[in-house]
Amino acid sequence: MTKPCVICVAITGSLPVKANNPAVPITVSEQIESTQEAFEAGATIVHAHVRNDDETPSSDPEKFARLREGIEKHCPGMIIQFSTGGRSGAGRSRGAMLALAPDMASLAVGSNNFPARVYENPPDLVDWLAAEMRTRGVKPEIEAFDLSHIHQAVAMRRDGRLRGPLYVQFVMGVRNAMPVDRDVFDYYVRTMERLAPDSEWCAAGIGAHQFTLNEWCVAGGGHART
């Protein structure tokens, strides 16, 4: 049976800025502080993006290194997941922080539309990121923005590009990608049971959608992302 994921926390995301929400942690020290609050509230995984000084997304390994150092110090035992998402850079720069060998890193295995553009994850970049993670012992969290992404992760595990068991996050509620739909959520879970029965999964939504998805996760026997 697949296992729904433990409680994980996305402290920043790549898009919100202080002008929208003054509580969004932007600097590395603000991020460490809000991770610690989540850790003390029971979160066991932190999904981390870093930002430039102008609040734009960054993939600077030096910032990721300082973030990890702070989290290791203030949140002992917390699992650290670095984002390799495409908002923070292009091409292989997206994986520059993998050299730091974090516990986990996010991995998109397909492409899809975002609200105003294509989220581009070309096959050769996906394979390169997966190989970097394999080489450095980094556990990927597969970001499933659509059904075929689950199938692709299963195919990549079958041919050795990914190590098992898989860890998959269903991402729902992004405009022009998969909406928040309970029937699809249930079908995702059934697909995991069918194709990757030893795997773990969790679900991420945008903003208020996260509360809905957390309810479905708990109904599915699991825990939640905050």
Site membership for Zn ion, residue 35 (CB under 5 A): no
| 111 binding partner (options Zn ion, its own copies, none; Cβ < 5 to 8 Å by kind) | its own copies
Backbone angles phi, psi at 204, to 5 degrees: -130, 135
Contact between 5 and Zn ion (CB under 5 A)? yes
Give the residue, chosen from 69, 181, 193, 215, that forms a contact with its own copies under the rule CB under 8 A.
181
b/e code 110-127 from CB counts within 10 Å (16+ = b) = bbbeeeeeebebeeebbe
| Pairwise CA distance, residues 123 & 157, whole Å | 15
In angstroms, give the least distance from the CB of 13 to Zn ion.
6
- Amino acid at the residue 204: A
**Angle at the Cα of 130 (from 39 to 43), degrees rounded to 5?**
10
119 binds its own copies (CB under 8 A): yes
Q: Enumerate residues 85-104 that contact Zn ion by CB under 5 A.
A: 85
8 binds Zn ion (CB under 5 A): yes
The Cα–Cα gap between 155 and 119 comes to 21
83 binds Zn ion (CB under 5 A): yes
Cβ-closest position to Zn ion: 202
Which residue ranges make up the site for Zn ion (CB under 5 A)? 5, 8, 83, 85, 169, 202
